[in-house]
Structure 1
Amino acid sequence: MPLKLYKRGKVWWISGTVHGQKVRETTGSNDKEVAEAIRIKKEAGLVSDHVYGPKATRDFSDAVTSYIEAGGERRYIGTPHSGLLGHFYSTPLKDIQQNDLDEAARTLYMTALPETRNRQCYTPFIAVWNHAVKNGWADMRLWSRPKKAKGTNVVRIAKRRAGTFPVDYEHAAKFIAAMSPGPAMLMTTLFYTGMRPIEIFALEAQEVNIAGRWITLTKTKTGEPRGIPIHEFIAPILESLLKRNSLAEDPRLFRTPKGEPYETIVTDEEGKGGGGLKTAINGARRRSGIKDIAPYTGRHSCSTGLVVAGVHPHIKDQILGHAADDMSRHYTNVPQAPLVDAINKLPVPEAWRALPWLDDPLAWSGKFAEGMGRRTDLDRKRREG
């Protein structure tokens, strides 16, 4: 039967079967004309797939959409009118060659250094391409990346960006103490799991197993699920947040002080990009005077902390999601004692343990830090203590 539209709440959905391919998905739009255009494109794509095969019909926008839906990182992808997505939008995957990628890098980043083009163009493009390969939409290719120019002995001293290097946990504790409790809980979890910000924003209640000290991520940068051990220090934080009443409506665990879930676009490695976490980071920098901490600092610090603690590189890589063979993916939902033991080797400074909101994280999650206007709950708690 051909695909049909039906309304579910305020949004139009597509349902039907085309050449044996069953479809039931949202158009993401409440505009019927837009939804109809999406339905027509979807049906045409299924017919083309049946006749010619997906490798002959899928374009870059299809690959990006699937990549993002699988949990891929949006950073540097762009929009239908800008960036990588805008440049390659309707270009069939089969028609994109190395010279096309090189031309995109030159066009999008005309004055950028090779390492910048690599990070902001080649890396996200290859991530999308590899996802398309996994879907059977493209062939595996070995893409060439830009190299630094040779023939010079001039050393360029670049300023290190916050979020691109680790910090000491004692130093981090001072920064966290200057944050409002809600964002502080999120940042604390980043430091003691090594998760990426995009992963923690999407973390849902059902993915957290307190008894097993285990998190099963289903939405990751690579699109592959992975398991993460829970440090004993953050277990009570997660356990408290799991009692949030609104999880039935939206299962995402972490919220802003206003009670709103964090969106995946709120930050990058420098804390830029808008949203509640950007505000929390900038506020903590202003109050603490510490400028070298951003959301990604937690991941880098966790990695370094595990090395310093003598954790085997293979165990460290499993925790951070770097070692993912078919066998480890198969058991991502099973708590693994060696990983739990390893994560517990990360240090917990007394200054971190002494934070007042640790007594009842959920009750404190909607309060604000000193300097946030009339609500100075943290300052009052300190004076009473």
Structure 2
Amino acid sequence: MPLSLRPPRKGKTPNYEIRGTYLGVYVERTAGTPELRVAKRVLKGIKEAIERGEYRKREEVAEAPKPPTFADATLAYLKAGGEAKFLGKIIEATGDHALRDKPLAEIDQLAIDNAARGVYPLAPATTLNRQFYTPVSAVLKHAGIELKIKRPKGWRGSKATEWLEPDQAFAVIREAYAIEPEFGLFCLTLLYTGMRLGDATEEAILRGLRLEQALLYLGATKNSEPRPVHLPPIVVEAFRKQRPRPVRPSKGTGGVLTNGAAGRNRAGAGVPFLERHPDEKLFRFCKGGRLYKMLYLALDRAGVVLPKRMRGFHIFCHTYGTWMHRYGGLDTYGLTRTGRWKDPDSADRYKHTMASAEARRADLLPVPAAKPRALKGL
């Protein structure tokens, strides 16, 4: 069989293999690369070495140990329990700027920037930071490489923030209760705790609710750290007054039922809300289109108009941060110490929701004794 390349085989090897005989010399080895053009160069080099009489089988050559690559570091990071999300796409990327087979010693800021645009050519800076720079930084730090990575310009996103004024928020909560009592309690809890949607729908269970301590204990959050969430009196009282989930009628009760009226009962239907099984989810909702439609309906009925990018449950988080700054008197670091924000930079946006004390001193500036004609009548 003439000397030729065999393509990568899924589940066996990601690289090209070189097999066959050339000038009476049998070769069977890996090309060490998934790139066809690189593998062809390796094949050509082997042929030239055989022609010169210099080729020896790999097992006959005492090879120096190969330096660890980014793929090696990623594997070690994952085995140590690192976050796998977003790393798959980075490792699967190929091309001149791909990080997978690049030795760790050769990875610098330029290599990371080029690789990022190779994986996400059109992504905004916020996506690049979240889905490329952050996981790459985590892998390198685990490998002991303390490289200070410069994030792409604009990675923090806009600090422009929308929030609900009290009358708007109370109107939304009223409409949420009108749509469904449990949905009203759900929105009220988000408003007065600032919880992320995922924490409320996935992490909060009834066992963690301790009303005598005004506390909801989240065992695992987005930051992978347990977090106690304080419940203000209005939320504690709302939980205590929450009615059981309604029992749905069945066809066996007789009479004609409208479409959708009958069906499977919700978990805990008819049971006092706080007496359900302690391992049940605190709220029955799941993140999805139906839940967002309920919010949109509550916002519309309350007459609250928001920019499209803020028309979601995160408006409650922004409102919580704004109110805690405005009415609770917390500065950036005070907001961080609530446990809701891990990074002061994330909480810093809420200081922009109020004019500073220095700016309000403009009230002391001199004004004319007699109002100009344009101001008369004001």
TM-score, length-scaled by structure 1:
0.48
Q: Greater relative contact order: 1 or 2 (C-alpha under 8 angstroms, separation 6 or more)?
A: 1
Larger C-alpha radius of gyration, 1 or 2?
A: 2
